[in-house]
């Protein structure tokens, strides 16, 4: 509890560090904040060409929204994933890149990874805003779902924060972490139904049946991936315009708070040794 108070007391510092990231990021660029849109758009273009035109992946149309546009369907999963991946990767390096600060000034170290959640989240908010406008233009009645979308966004941010707290500490002790994680994130992305619909996995799973004589299917294992649930919930809300599956939503919340609890515990335990270990 006392730790919580200390973290709360440094919320102003957190806000200032987040602002530093946001203001510093696109300084001296002509397009400024627009650059934050270019990355997801370029990725969207590549994936749409490869997966929709060449490989002919056809996700089911939105039910009940009736939307049937691959690029939009892709973005509903890709933007949350990109946020998650960026928070984890930047948060992980946040203590090392501020080594000078950590070794010279006392402050609540937790603000360093958390400020990355803030600055990446700011960009994400901007991207999601644009996505909502695009969805509305395409005929999706997305407006009533926005409050729930925001709740799920917060849950994903909590989940990402928990992971980056753990990894930022691990990275101070073992610099291998950052290289390992960047490979892991690539694999993780393809293990999540972002560029292909989960129905393809369902088909494969049915074809193989229970694994090793048990009733556990490939799909059961596949769905252990927390990001699978998050992406599903985002698609249900944004693309399908329907209530998310309550079980999925609950699991998202459980994953988020479990990650945060472990992350806080790990971080708190090793916080005092950080200046020395750097």
**Given the rule CB under 8 A, which residues bind another protein?**
12-13, 16-17, 19-20, 23-24, 27-28, 98, 100-107, 174-177, 180, 272-273, 275-276
Give long-range contacts, CB 8 A cutoff, 24+ apart: 154-158.
155/230, 155/252, 155/253, 155/256, 156/80, 156/83, 156/84, 156/230, 156/252, 156/256, 157/83, 157/87, 157/117, 157/121, 158/256, 158/257, 158/259, 158/260
The CB-of-101 to another protein minimum distance in angstroms stands at: 5
> What is the tally of helices (H) and strands (E) in the chain?
13, 0
The CB-of-175 to another protein minimum distance in angstroms stands at: 7
Judged by CB, which is closer to another protein: 12, or 213? 12
Judged by CB, which is closer to another protein: 179, or 243? 179
Dig out the tokens for 265 from the structure: 């515990």
Could you say which DSSP state residue 29 is in?
Answer: -
Judged by CB, which is closer to another protein: 138, or 275? 275
- Treating both helix axes as pointing N-terminal to C-terminal, what angle do 111-137 and 146-173 enclose, rounded to 10 degrees? 150
172 vs 170: CA distance, rounded Å: 5
Could you say which DSSP state residue 65 is in?
Answer: T
68 vs 25: CA distance, rounded Å: 35
The CB-of-86 to another protein minimum distance in angstroms stands at: 19
The CB-of-95 to another protein minimum distance in angstroms stands at: 14
Judged by CB, which is closer to another protein: 24, or 139? 24
Judged by CB, which is closer to another protein: 29, or 204? 29
Judged by CB, which is closer to another protein: 20, or 206? 20
42 vs 82: CA distance, rounded Å: 12
Judged by CB, which is closer to another protein: 58, or 98? 98
The CB-of-172 to another protein minimum distance in angstroms stands at: 11
The CB-of-28 to another protein minimum distance in angstroms stands at: 7
Dig out the tokens for 145 from the structure: 């779902």
The CB-of-83 to another protein minimum distance in angstroms stands at: 23
59 vs 263: CA distance, rounded Å: 35
């Amino acid at each position: 509890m006392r730790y919580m108070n200390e973290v709360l007391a440094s919320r102003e510092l957190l806000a200032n560090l987040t602002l530093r990231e946001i203001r510093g990021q696109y300084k001296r660029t002509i397009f400024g904040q627009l650059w934050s849109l270019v990355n997801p758009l370029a990725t969207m273009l590549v994936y749409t060409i490869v997966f929709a035109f060449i490989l002919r992946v056809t996700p089911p149309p939105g039910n009940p929204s009736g939307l049937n546009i691959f690029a939009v369907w892709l973005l509903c999963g890709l933007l949350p994933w990109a946020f998650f991946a960026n928070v984890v990767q930047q948060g992980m390096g946040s203590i090392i890149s501020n080594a000078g600060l950590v070794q010279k000034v006392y402050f609540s170290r937790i603000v360093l990874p958390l400020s990355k959640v803030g600055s990446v989240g700011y960009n994400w908010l901007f991207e999601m805003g644009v996505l909502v406008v695009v969805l509305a233009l395409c005929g999706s009645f997305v407006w009533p779902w926005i409050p729930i979308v925001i709740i799920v966004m917060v849950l994903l941010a909590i989940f990402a924060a928990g992971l980056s707290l753990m990894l930022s500490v691990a990275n101070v002790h073992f610099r291998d972490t950052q290289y390992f994680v960047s490979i892991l994130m690539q694999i993780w992305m393809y293990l999540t139904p972002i560029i292909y619909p989960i129905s393809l996995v369902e088909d494969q799973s049915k074809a193989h049946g229970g694994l090793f004589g048990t009733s556990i299917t490939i799909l059961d294992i596949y769905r252990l991936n927390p990001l699978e649930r998050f992406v599903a919930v985002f698609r249900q809300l944004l693309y399908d315009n329907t209530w998310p599956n309550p079980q999925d939503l609950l699991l998202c919340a459980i994953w988020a708070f479990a990650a945060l609890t472990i992350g806080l515990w790990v971080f708190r335990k090793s916080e005092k040794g950080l200046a020395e270990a750097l």
